[in-house]
Homo-oligomer: A and B are copies of this chain.
Amino acid sequence: MGVLPVVNTYPLSSYTFGTKEPKMEKDTSVADRLARMKVNYMKEGMRTSVEAILLVQEHNHPHILLLQIGNTFCKLPGGRLKPGENEIEGLKRKLSSKLAANSPSHQPNWQVGECVAVWWRPNFETVMYPYCPPHITKPKECKKLFLVHLSEREYFAVPKNLKLLAVPLFELYDNVQRYGPVISTIPQQLSRFQFNMVNA
């Protein structure tokens, strides 16, 4: 129990990045998003979403890959599962949709690993918590974050309307203003891993 799990991280420069057709957001405002969530909840029940923490290294420090929309908003790659969909398979589907070339023969080897955090949305509002609050019997969304182990070399195709950023842990830490409560506490959730920085 005293040994920390090891995660291999490879230099950002071992990965190749291209572009593909834009992936537009389904909603143009937060209000639209919450309204669509409500409609879907009535049809399908609690929304389940899955997101990936993809790690690379630069200067011997771990960095996380984030998708930037416009000039400020950043998110983890991932998305909503279909009703009844397996979460591992669903996350691979979402990762391929967001970050893989369209050719089925050039899919990255998505190795979905440890679940590192679970967040709950009690109401049709933006706020989420890392627990289901007491007295909430029907949460509206459960979001799981998984560590996805990258191979030493991969090709990523980034939708033209998005930017893929490699953000160091020290930039995320204690930076809720810029990255929000979910992404800004990823450094704490990863602290139990031992990073093996492979200098390929």
Say yes or no for A28: interface residue by CB 8 A criterion.
no
Name the distance in Å between A102's Cβ and chain B's nearest Cβ.
27
Give the secondary structure class of A's interface. Answer: mixed
Which of A57-65, A69-77, A157-165 has 4 or more CB atoms under 8 Å from chain B?
Answer: A57-65
Q: Is the CB of B88 within 8 A of A131?
A: no
Residues of B within 8 A of A146 (CB): 1
Question: Which of B134, B173, B192 touches A59 (beta carbons < 8 Å)?
Answer: B134
Residues of B within 8 A of A61 (CB): 131, 134
Say yes or no for A12: interface residue by CB 8 A criterion.
no
Identify which of residues 111-129 in chain A touch chain B, using a CB-to-CB cut-off of 8 Å.
Answer: 112-119, 129
Question: Which of B1, B113, B117, B190 touches A1 (beta carbons < 8 Å)?
Answer: B113
Say yes or no for A86: interface residue by CB 8 A criterion.
yes
Q: CB-nearest residue of chain B relative to A3?
A: B115
Q: How many residues of A contact B (CB 8 A)?
A: 37
Residues of B within 8 A of A118 (CB): 4, 191-192
Residues of B within 8 A of A1 (CB): 88, 112-115, 146
Say yes or no for A188: interface residue by CB 8 A criterion.
yes
Residues of B within 8 A of A18 (CB): none
Say yes or no for A154: interface residue by CB 8 A criterion.
no
Say yes or no for A185: interface residue by CB 8 A criterion.
yes
Question: Which of B112, B134, B191 touches A119 (beta carbons < 8 Å)?
Answer: B191
In the assembled complex, 23 residue pairs joining A and B whose CB atoms fall closer than 8 Å, in A order, are A1-B88, A1-B112, A1-B113, A2-B86, A2-B115, A62-B131, A114-B192, A117-B188, A117-B191, A117-B192, A119-B191, A130-B169, A130-B187, A130-B190, A130-B191, A131-B169, A131-B173, A131-B190, A134-B168, A134-B170, A185-B185, A185-B188, A189-B192
